[in-house]
Amino acid sequence: MPRIVVDVMPKPEILDPQGKAIAGALPRIGLTGFAGVRQGKRFELTVDGEVTDELLEQARHAAATLLSNPVIEDVTRVEVLEEDDQ
Amino acid sequence: MSIETPLIGGPQPLASDDGSSPLDGVTVGVVTFPGTLDDRDAARAVRLAGGSAVQLWHGDHDLQGVDAVIIPGGFSYGDYLRAGAISRFAPLMEQITAAASGGADALPVLGICNGFQVLTEAHLLPGSMIKNNSLHFLCRDQRLRVENAGTSWTSEYAEGEELVIPLKNQDGQFVADNRTLDELEGEGRVVFRYVDGNPNGSRRDIAGISNAAGNVVGLMPHPEHAVEAGFGPDSSARGAVDVRGGTDGLGIFTSVLKKLVG
């Protein structure tokens, strides 16, 4: 079934404590090449049938009202995934 | 005969000689979501302050005529998505949002900890909460300063008065953009500020804020856990107290009751 993917990231100006903790753990597994980590969220909205423009609009609405909080987060992607996409 | 100990309701210490009280018929609703933890403590605090508490279920559409509402702490919906994000869309929240939005005489609403997070998600209060900058869950007695004693929930305190009440959370770092922060400061809507150290990185040491009308207040620390000697913090901003003798939080609940009968 087709999916609509929504990515949400913490706003650039908001400190991301979780990303910071992950960045601190990377050297512990020997990976020292990364300057920073920011952690976001990915949602997959599964559609029963075809993804219509209306459904895509509803996904955008969900992204802006429920899936993200505009005070601390940005919606960075709302996109239809084809069947074989990951 | 039932020997049930009433969780909600109970004796009213302000009763006068004829048994009546100015608080007769005054009720404060305490909302329970799936995952709420402190609803019983909040109801108990209302009762200890002399009022009557009414249990409200998040899925109901009826505020049961309550005169004020407390959204207590906990982990509603397991903090899934973001703390307070799913609770915000509960049927009862629609009623609360509508009733709280009518200016100074609108329904007084207090959000404590997770309740504060619900109020920001519902846009009744500005800003948001992110993880503590230490990343640790914090549980300690916290000293606060009352910055605004003019709200529905702080009138029993003096401006500048300090109190010690428990703080316990993981997502307690209050954030907002600078324009919003300036606005809050300029309009006197910073209600509580952390003193003796900022525990979680909150912008401008903010521990609690109000809406413009002052009827909606949210704060991260827990006044309902500092209302009865023997069950409170080990310290008080008013001087030495016995072990667990701190009751600095009681004024929050007496404030709203005074307002309701005044």
Distance CA B86, CA B188 (A): 30
pLDDT band at B19 (very low <50, low <70, confident <90, very high): low
3-class SS of residue A64:
helix
Q: Report the share of chain A in percent with pLDDT over 70.
A: 95
Please give the model's pTM, rounded to 2 decimal places.
Answer: 0.90
Nearest to B225 by CA among B79, B44, B97, B88: B44
CB B41 within 8 A of CB B82: no
Separation between Cα atoms, residue B65 and residue A37, nearest integer Å: 49
On whether the CB atoms of residues A46 and A5 are closer than 8 A, the answer is no
pLDDT, tens digit, 9 for 90 and up, residues B44-84? 999 999 999 999 999 999 999 999 999 999 999 999 999 99
pLDDT at B102: 84
Q: Closest by alpha carbon to A20, among B215, B46, B28, B134?
A: B134
Return the CATH number of the domain spanning residue range B27-260. Answer: 3.40.50.880
Q: For residue range A35-65, list pLDDT tens digits in order.
A: 999 999 999 999 999 999 999 999 999 999 9
Domain boundaries, chain B: 27-260
Q: Is A72 on the interface with B (CB under 8 A)?
A: yes
Q: How far is B231 from chain A (nearest CA, A)?
A: 33
Confidence (pLDDT) at B105: 86
Alpha-carbon distance of B122 to B39, in angstroms, equals 19
For chain A, positions 14-43, list CB contacts with chain B under 8 A. 14-15, 17-18, 20-21
User: Nearest CB to B175: which of A14, A21, A67?
Assistant: A14
Which phi-psi region, left, alpha or beta, contains residue B96 (left: φ > 0; alpha: ψ -120 to 50)?
alpha
- Yes or no: say if B142 and B199 are a contact pair by the CB < 8 Å rule: yes
- In which band, very low, low, confident or very high, does the pLDDT at B2 lie, cut at 50, 70 and 90? very low
Report whether A76 contacts A7 (CB < 8 A).
Answer: yes
Q: Closest to B85 (Cβ–Cβ): which among A10, A13, A69?
A: A69
Cβ <8 Å between B89 and A69: no
Distance from CA of B128 to the nearest CA of A (A): 6
3-state secondary structure of B234: coil
